[in-house]
Structure 1
């Protein structure tokens, strides 16, 4: 699995490419005053698009919030499971897992709001990667390297299959770019889990870092969906 730093660069490049952003020099619109109100931009057809309240902006904001919540809820569930000695049926752990699953349902619903037929396959796929983080954590706690390796392998395979699933629904999103985003998610969250298991206070910063990658992922997903469905 690649390093987080490398993923961050690749993921950003993919997000910028998918959403049509440019890293070039300043343009006339950047150096001259604009008469277009803040939060609006001019399209090629010279019509004004509200970039704050548009459907595309709403989708990006929704995915950003839900995917960021996903990381923090996963961290909370794993942290509580560790506190409960790995007992996934303990009341607090079960409640944390239920909140995480509710978040998964909401992420799938956001995708389903644009692709109704894809909502259930997306949910089934998305749910399948969460137990792999649990297995990784339990393997670390029990010093079961085989369990750890199997979980890491499962997460790598999931990233590939998830990329293919998204690409089959949204052709504008290359499978490899989606795969890299998921690998970054796995790598950064695993780093936080390792710190938590070791009792390292750096856990909190690492969890925050893992969450900070998700807006980039949300931008890439929302940009691809908007391009596919011509959403402004």
Structure 2
């Protein structure tokens, strides 16, 4: 959204009045209009705000689902776990829909890709909770590979976003959420602060994604 505010020449007119000078033809010249970008209500700002909210929700909903799974002894079929997983998947659909509002053809590939990384966190949790280090290590490797493929997917849609930069954002997401999971499994009260830290990284991810999309679409 753009707003135009006529202000050019006001400083000169004010200076003439304050100095006691009479108005001259120069001061009476038509004022020029200058375009001012509304960085609060612009399309780009709206996209960034929505992405920030949805990605932060992703972290907390993932944390809630994993916590419930731990409380239920790793049983992923209980009604409580299923409800938590459903809420997390609804968030995935919302993130994909937001991307799809800008790139309709990319909505389903994005959703398929985004959904695919969530089970890796579940596998890591189950591996750590049961002492199956091989399962946990494979989950970490899977998350690393996912960061690479997700970066490539986003770059194929938004060339302004380097694949390596997107990859780095996903690696940070995984690193911070895995730290929170470790604390939860250990019964460490630091879990809550670590989960908050994982969520606090999401605004940076949202800013990077929204910035690339805005540049690609030519919006402010």
Structure 1 and Structure 2 fold alike (TM over 0.5)? yes
SS of alignment partner, residue 37 of structure 2: strand
SS of alignment partner, residue 117 of structure 2: helix
1:143-181 Cα deviation digits (max 9, x unpaired): 001001100000000000000000000000000000000
Q: Following TM superposition, by how much is the alpha carbon of 1:212 offset from its aligned partner in structure 2, in angstroms?
A: 0.3
Which residue does the alignment assign to 1:165? 153
SS of alignment partner, residue 47 of structure 1: strand
Q: Does 1:139 align with 2:131?
A: no
1: distance between equivalents of 2:70 and 2:186? 11
Give the greater-gyration-radius structure (CA). 2
Q: Does 1:82 align with 2:80?
A: no
Which residue does the alignment assign to 2:211? 223
2: distance between equivalents of 1:58 and 1:113? 12
RCO higher in structure (CA 8 A, sep ≥6):
1
Tell me which of 190, 201, 204 is aligned to 2:192: 204
1: distance between equivalents of 2:45 and 2:100? 17
Q: TM-score, normalising length from structure 1?
A: 0.80
Q: Give 5+ residue unaligned stretches, structure 2.
A: 1-32
1:10-47 Cα deviation digits (max 9, x unpaired): xxxxxxxxxxxxxxxxxxxxxxxxxxxxxxxxxxx941
2: distance between equivalents of 1:79 and 1:145? 19
Q: Following TM superposition, by how much is the alpha carbon of 1:107 offset from its aligned partner in structure 2, in angstroms?
A: 0.3
SS of alignment partner, residue 88 of structure 1: coil
Q: Give 5+ residue unaligned stretches, structure 1.
A: 1-44
Counterparts of residues 179-194 of structure 1 (less than 5 Å): 179-194=167-182
- From the superposition, tell whether residues 56 and 140 of structure 1 become closer, same or farther in structure 2 (CA, over 3 Å): same
- Give every structure 1 segment of 4 or more consecutive aligned residues whose post-TM-superposition deviation is greater than 4 Å: none
2: distance between equivalents of 1:172 and 1:213? 21
